[in-house]
């Protein structure tokens, strides 16, 4: 959560974060940290929108939290108007982003989570494009 908070403080409007990693590796807890940094009052209650695909949270910038875990083959993200969120003026965080790799914005942060024993996690943060501004 602390890493999400620190990164969240630096995010400009229009930021896109692609999160990947196994179940329980910290993607949603990281997103809570982002929410806290963005001034979402109820950041502690941020949870995975597994069944609804997206949840929106109000803060100093909107947070658009996607969870694509249950996204089946052939599901059309157009039904939720994903481009408005991915290329909007808020911060888009997508869990299980590898499921839609072809749709991801070129300019993004890719964050990969892995269990490292007990409560430890290994987290890799990579800017996907040299023009990524964070």
Write the CATH number of the domain with boundaries 2-125: 3.40.50.300
Residue 36 has pLDDT above 90, yes or no: yes
pLDDT 10s digits, 64-116: 999 998 877 556 677 788 999 999 999 999 999 999 999 999 999 999 999 99
Q: Which long-range contacts (CB under 8 A, 24 or more apart) does 22-28 make?
A: 22/113, 22/114, 22/115, 24/115, 25/113, 25/114, 25/115, 25/121, 26/113, 26/121, 26/123, 27/95, 27/113, 28/67, 28/95
Query: What tokens appear for 8 in the block?
Result: 């969240």
- How high does pLDDT run on average in the chain? 90
Look up the pTM and report it. Answer: 0.91
């Amino acid at each position: 959560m602390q890493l999400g908070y620190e990164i969240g403080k630096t995010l400009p409007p229009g930021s896109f974060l692609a999160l990947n990693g196994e179940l329980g590796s910290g993607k949603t807890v990281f997103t809570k940290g982002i929410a806290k940094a963005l001034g979402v009052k109820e950041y502690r209650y941020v949870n995975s929108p597994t069944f609804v695909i997206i949840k929106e949270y109000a803060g100093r910038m909107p947070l658009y939290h996607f969870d694509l875990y249950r996204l089946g083959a052939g599901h059309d993200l157009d039904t939720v108007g994903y481009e408005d969120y991915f290329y909007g003026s808020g911060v888009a965080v997508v869990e299980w982003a590898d499921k839609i790799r072809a749709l991801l914005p070129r300019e993004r942060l890719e964050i990969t989570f892995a269990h490292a024993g007990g409560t430890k996690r290994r987290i890799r943060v990579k800017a996907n494009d040299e023009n990524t501004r964070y």
